[in-house]
Structure 1
Amino acid sequence: MLKVEGLQNAYGQSRILFGIDFFVGAGEVVTLLGRNGMGKTTTIKSIFGLLPPTGGRIEINGQDMTGEAPHAIARQGLGLVPEGRQIFPTLSVEENLLATQRAETNAPKWTLSSIYQMFPRLRERRRNMGNQLSGGEQQMLAVGRALMTNPKLVVLDEATEGLSPLMREEIWTCLRKIKAEGEAILVIDKNVDVLAKFADRHVVIEKGRVVWSGDTAALLKTPDIKERYLHV
């Protein structure tokens, strides 16, 4: 589905990524873990063409998509839930969802009806503007907007950041449903305990490099990973 090899990137003269390697298979849930400022969001921006890589290779569905434009990446089946949600504040909930709908998709799995079934609160607020929603409702909308592209891989950057415990659990419940639908998921989040139960494999990034990767069983058997690379 997604294969990243030797990914390098920088902001001006400041190098951020020094050869990131990982992959996400069809229907698989993979996490990117690490402290703030270690390169996780830069990795996501590089994959989506929002920050063209300075080196390495990004392969999607067997095709080299390194440095391609964001719309071309999206057409390959990647849907993004960005850090900070970035919904359209002056569009209604329904307009936000329709803005990313893939019209060329035959018999799409994700439609307004299925999104509203997943997130009943969005149906209730469908006429409200984006800037009238709570943080949790905005995150639901950001997830729903990504799903409306009918992606093969959903990428979530800081899936539950800034949300109340109750709203975080609601988002995780919805992500479990998305996983049950067979969608591949790449997720960044700080809640390692929840991720350990939710994901299949984990990739730990430290200062722009992959310092550890493995499945959930291996993560649970290596408790010092949390202490060395994930605690502030």
Structure 2
Amino acid sequence: DPTSGQMQFEAWGHKQGPLHGLPISTPYLTKDYLQQKRFQAQSNGTTYVYDFPDMFRQALMRLWEEHVEMHPDEDVPACLLNCVELVLDGQQRLVEQKRLPGENDVGMVAWRMTLFTPEYPNGRDVIVIANDITFLLGTFGPQEDLLFFKASERARQMAIPRLYISANSGARIGLAEEVKHLFNVAWVDPSNPDKGYKYLYLTPENFKKVSAVNSVNAELTEICWPYCW
């Protein structure tokens, strides 16, 4: 700063960051909720799902900058992307909703985006669906499957493209947390687990604990001594 003589941060490019113009002695802020989500996604080798709309916006900016270079009489539009999230309401209906990033309660996120491109300056709608790798590793459960189906159905109804950005670890196998640490394994050969197992079982004592809360369906067997479920 020529006035104060202080060294300041200065953004490189047309977009100014949060530290632009501040003294270089300004402490960095601690990681907020979204930064933690971004770090978690990057640790899994992918991008945080709520950063995809901004990536689309940056790609559109590049397209327009290249277009304006070839057509100097045209300008980059003020709005490059309109984006509204598609969510399931209490009746499992797909509705459009404006909400903050990271408010999703399932591992799937969908949007209706309007892209303003040089070819379609008045805008073109697309449906974008993506996994949230930070929510149970983006696994598919009933709610994720329903959102995917409903959003895909909306694209077909509107006769517009549907884009799916996949970053997941497959289907989610639901298992009651109170049961997980109680299971025992009946190995084919206890000295060599690589040979596989016969079945999973619960001792009578553990079965009583979880059957009272209806967390397990089991059959009594006498194969393992003295007997188990």
Band the TM-score falls in, shorter-chain normalisation: under 0.3
By percentage of residues, which structure has more helix? 1
TM-score (normalizing by structure 2):
0.26
Q: Which has the higher contact order (CA 8 A, sep 6+)?
A: 1
- Which structure has greater strand proportion? 1
Normalising by structure 1, we get a TM-score of 0.26
